[in-house]
Amino acid sequence: MAEPGKPVQIKVVDDVVIRFAGDSGDGMQLTGTQFTNTAAIIGNDISTLPDYPAEIRAPAGTLAGVSGFQVHLASADIHTPGDEPHVLIAMNPAALKASLRNLAPGGTIIVNTDEFTRGNLRKAEYESNPLEDDSLQNYMVHTVPITTLNRNAVEDIEGLFAKGINRSRNFFALGLTFWMYDRSLDNTIAWIEKKFQKRPEIVEANRRALQAGYNYGNTTRTFQIRYRVKPAHLPPGIYRKITGSEAIALGMVTASELADKPLVYCSYPITPASDILHNLASLKHFDVRTFQAEDEIAAMGAAIGAAFGGAFAATGTSGPGVALKSEAINLAVALELPVVIVDVQRGGPSTGLPTKVEQSDLLQVMYGRNGESPVVVLAPSTPSDCFDITIEAFRLAVRGMSPVFVLADGYLANSAEPWALPDPESMEPIAVKHPKPEDFQNGSKFLPYGRDPETMGRPWAIPGTPQLEHRVGGLGKQPGTGNVSHMPEDHQQMVAERAAKVASLVDVIPDLKVIGEDTGDLLVIGWGSTYGAILQAVQRAQRDGKRVSAAHLRYLNPFPGNLGDVMARFDRILVPEMNMGQLAMLLQARYLQEINSLPKVQGQPFKISEIRNKIDEILSQGLGTVGD
Amino acid sequence: MSDTIKLNRKDFRSDQTVRWCPGCGDYAILAQVQKVLPDIGVPKENIVFISGIGCSSRFPYYMNTYGIHSIHGRAPTLAAGLKLANPDLTVFVITGDGDGLSIGGNHLLHACRRNVDINILLFNNRIYGLTKGQYSPTSLPGTRTKTSPMGSLEQAFNPISVALAAEATFVARTIDREQRHMGEILRRAAAHRGTSFVEILTNCLIFNDGTFSDVTDREIRDDNRLRLEQGQPMIFGQDNDKGIRMSGCFEPEVVSLDDVDAEDILVHNDKLEGSQLAYMLSRMTRPDFPVPFGVFRDVDHLTYEEGVFQQVERAQAARGVGELKDLYVASDTWMVDDDRNGHNGHKGAIHDED
């Protein structure tokens, strides 16, 4: 708390974007997470962007090794981690260099001067020391010898080795940041005490480092202003912080409980999807059965086997894993079994950018399989929406007896936001029907591929049920019986039935909502994690008097039934997406309306300003010209 | 219900026409499986056959049980997932030398290593049949086919050695032409808890006829094969006059019973925890040795799915059976009050999850 009498001014701001940046080994993800937790607990709205290298420990001090964590906290409803950090905490020259280009003009920089050695400057490819030339003159720079100050604070702790001394300096930086933002240390201290309870010397070092950082802010006059971000006006309720990966895991468990089914989650480790498996592996008391498969193909195969056995089956992966699973996904299409496939998209092609975001798997999941292979495709818009959409995925999978894709991405998976805890009592159970022998007593014959007239789904008869023994397979089938058939008419009918079944889900998915006026000069259509940036860009344009609306697709196959009508009410359509225009292509092909595409493939989410600028650019063009 | 009515082999025949080539060894395996299943004490609705792709993999269509004809090489993965959904099912994986040891080699290894309680029947005819006669991973070096007109250049896999190296807990070999022996092996495989791997040598009349003739031809077979019997000395030959003796540094040798003492003949033991003896036997091949038939290894380990369910039980005992309302609570929760003043007094308790 600020001490009365100090000539330090507290300035109330609506929001602030802080970026912690350091070496991969500097603990920046932990520092950012702790800062976020405290902000969340006092009631700020938060949105985070962890941004780390693919290597676990890239060479220390290099640009490749910089690990960043950006957090946006606000007293208003926010939807993105912020376009530009206002404050940068740079633990070394590489962190400064890598983060500087995004920093807001006039922004604050706190640098650990101890690390600005000649060697580190060279590793960061600096020709001269930026702290000594005038390259930082447009920023408010605070030079703090963090390493030295931290060492002074902790070096006399008994049992603490030399390596442990420097390891705590991220807590010094965190303590200083807590002071700047008028935050209590209590929550982080409690966390430290619990996390390192078996290592008292580490607890002591981290606690002292944290306090020393805080005291440094308090006692030196380096900082004239402290900032305060008031709690946000969120709807009442109990909240927690949640990432997309956590939300997907919780959504899967919830769906299985709503159906009174065990969850079998089969996966092969892959960035950035592994966290889902990590989360689920620790939830065995919910009768979650996790299977770490030998490869991506095996993970999909096991999920299919589990679904055949009557469990709620799911797998999670990223783009390269989807490529490997494709043949097995097609088997699930042919067997018509409910399997949920989560694709946490990352930059491609090939291994691409394992830790960076992209939305370039849309066409892969829609069409990247042999034959006519329709599947249901959903996309969550926010970390907390990952929860809802995962439950929806199971609901549709069971109804349509079909594989369902959830197209998340690396940004959604790792990003955190406040989440109002749902009330299990208010959730609708997921009805699952398995046929029984007595359903077929009055002469009706069990047909493995007979279709429910309402859902077009086939019966989910599971092994262990007497008299309903049947065989399914990937070969061409006779409709109804499912017996192997290569007859021309049989094949055409089966292809048509599978397509119609998926298409018919349009009857149970909600209409697309327009955010803003129902008609206007421009409609910005998005899908997936671009939601926040698009929403805020459109809201800003609306405030500026533009006739612009937004619409966000959570359902990509089938599209909402009113999508074509919604699009037709606008003169122009803009589709920002983190690929080269995949949704734009689908929309143009389907609705024959001209689309302006705003592609971005930089491994980073959209900035609000990028979309806002594109809106102006399109609106300034005369009607009838092609955008893009 | 059906478990109280004694089933017979006809109960396991599906209404589909069997479409293997006339004279194919697979017919004999199908007949024997249908004969054995009524005896294993499992209702047929609890039996599932899962196959990959290839001639052998058409098998499930002909069985009146639950079944999946899956994709090439992947049947063990489906079987593992199925056992996690319902561990009470009796699951057979039907595969071939190409399906199981080439495209699906990885999955076969890992199924064995995990000791999933499934029965893997690998039909080994040393050829790709369904794609019309290319050499397979078990084809002997020099095999001439359309893709190896000058003879194949690759060392053949020995399926028994592979399964043993992959830590399979039950490993056996039988052959299409020996119905009674196959029946015994299938019964023991079904009774085994954990992964049972059974190599069934089978003749492809069209593309690889006679590949196993030295162990099937009436005139020579008894001199070319060794029947492994638990606790019995390894004696073989038309006149039961030859045996296997250990010599030197774990090297087997064929000896004449006239020349050695009976106690020098190796006695078979498939219950050994170490797989050294089983592996040594698996390496015995023609022409220097007789081909061993029977059970190489049969040891009792915890199965994969038993382990999974034990962990579920332990987690439930330690933390209580999970309830949704507890699922959502994390280490830090906070309350946003109704007054909308943004007063946030409540801080949640620290929970174990984090």
- pLDDT tens per residue across span A97-152: 999 988 999 999 999 999 999 999 999 999 999 999 989 999 999 999 999 999 99
In chain B, % helix, strand, coil (3-state, to 5) comes to 30, 20, 45
Percent pLDDT > 90 in chain A is: 89
Q: Which of A477, A490, A149, A235 is nearest to B339 (CA)?
A: A235
Return the ∠ at Cα A147 (arms to A144 and A152), rounded to 5°.
100
In this model, does residue A627 exceed pLDDT 90?
no
As given in the structure block, the two tokens for residue A191 are 């966390």
Residue A471: how many CB atoms within 10 A of its CB? Answer: 24
DSSP code per residue over A274-285: HHHHHHHHT-GG
Helix spans in A50-115 (H): 93-100
Would strands A596-599 and A416-420 be described as parallel, antiparallel, or unpaired?
unpaired
CB contact under 8 A, B335 and A294: no
pLDDT band, very low/low/confident/very high, at A621 (cuts 50, 70, 90):
confident
Query: Which of A282, A467, A469, A478 to mutate: most B Cβ within 10 Å?
Result: A469
- When mean pLDDT is compared across A217-226, A269-278, A619-628, the lowest value belongs to A619-628
- Restricting to A residues 264-283, those with a Cβ less than 8 Å away from any Cβ of B are 264, 266, 282-283
Q: Which residue has the tokens 């292979």?
A: A373
At a CB cut-off of 8 Å and minimum separation 6, what does B141 contact? B151, B152, B153, B154, B155, B156
Q: Which of A565, A464, A589 is nearest to A514 (CA)?
A: A565
Q: Looking at beta carbons, which residues of chain A come within 8 Å of B44?
A: 469
Residue A65: how many CB atoms within 10 A of its CB? Answer: 24
- Restricting to B residues 65-104, those with a Cβ less than 8 Å away from any Cβ of A are 65-71, 74, 76-86, 88-89
pLDDT at B333: 85
Query: Which of A77, A283, A294 to mutate: most B Cβ within 10 Å?
Result: A294
CB of A422 within 8 Å of a chain B CB? The answer is yes
Q: Looking at beta carbons, which residues of chain B come within 8 Å of A232?
A: 342
Report CA-CA distances (Å) from A407 to A233, A340, A508, A572, A587: 30, 11, 20, 26, 17
Torsion angles phi and psi, residue A347, rounded to 5: -65, 135
Looking at the partner chain, which of A239, A285, A298 has a beta carbon nearest the beta carbon of B321?
Answer: A285
- Restricting to B residues 43-62, those with a Cβ less than 8 Å away from any Cβ of A are 43-50, 60-61
What average pLDDT score do residues A390-409 get? Answer: 98
For the four alpha carbons of A165, A167, A168 and A172, in that order, the dihedral sign comes to positive
Q: Which residue has the tokens 């919780």?
A: A250
More reliable by pLDDT, A225 or A487: A487
Beta bridge partners of B333: A240
Q: Which of A335, A341, A247 is nearest to A303 (CA)?
A: A341
Element housing A550 (H / E):
strand A548-553
Predicted TM-score (pTM) of this structure: 0.94
Query: Using an 8 Å Cβ cutoff, are B158 and B267 in contact?
Result: no
pLDDT averaged over chain A? 94
Q: Is A334 left (phi over 0), alpha (psi -120 to 50) or beta?
A: alpha
Whether the link from the prior residue into A349 is cis, omega within 30° of 0, is yes
The predicted complex's ipTM stands at 0.95
For the four alpha carbons of A572, A578, A584 and A590, in that order, the dihedral sign comes to negative
B2: three-class secondary structure by DSSP: coil
Which stretches of chain B score pLDDT less than 50? Answer: 1-3, 340-354
pLDDT at A42: 87
Burial of A346: CB neighbours in 10 Å, binned 0-12, 13-18, 19+: buried
d(CA A4, CA A216): 17
pLDDT at A5: 47
Q: Which of B55, B201, B207 is nearest to B127 (CA)?
A: B207
Please give, rounded to a whole number of angstroms, the shortest distance from the CA of B327 to a CA of chain A. Answer: 7
pLDDT at B1: 44
Report the residue of chain B nearest A290, measured CA to CA.
B308
d(CA B270, CA B268): 7
For the four alpha carbons of B300, B304, B310 and B315, in that order, the dihedral sign comes to positive
Beta bridge partners of A403: A339
pLDDT band, very low/low/confident/very high, at A58 (cuts 50, 70, 90):
confident
Q: Which of A333, A337, A341 is nearest to A370 (CA)?
A: A333
d(CA B120, CA B51): 10
pLDDT at B332: 75
What average pLDDT score do residues A413-442 get? Answer: 94
Residue B308: half-sphere exposure toward Cβ, Cα within 13 Å: 27
- When mean pLDDT is compared across A12-26, A387-401, A500-514, the lowest value belongs to A12-26
B89: three-class secondary structure by DSSP: coil
As given in the structure block, the two tokens for residue A62 are 């290099």
As given in the structure block, the two tokens for residue A570 are 């606008």
Please give, rounded to a whole number of angstroms, the shortest distance from the CA of B130 to a CA of chain A. Answer: 14
pLDDT at A108: 94
pLDDT at A9: 86
CB of A310 within 8 Å of a chain B CB? The answer is yes
pLDDT band, very low/low/confident/very high, at A159 (cuts 50, 70, 90):
confident
pLDDT at A528: 98
Looking at the partner chain, which of B81, B321, B327 has a beta carbon nearest the beta carbon of A304?
Answer: B81
Q: Which residue has the tokens 């990952």?
A: A386
d(CA B182, CA B160): 16
pLDDT at B338: 65
pLDDT at A7: 65
Buried b (16+ CB within 10 A) or exposed e, B123-155: bbbbbbbeeebbbbbbbeeebebeebeeebeee
Torsion angles phi and psi, residue A33, rounded to 5: -65, -40
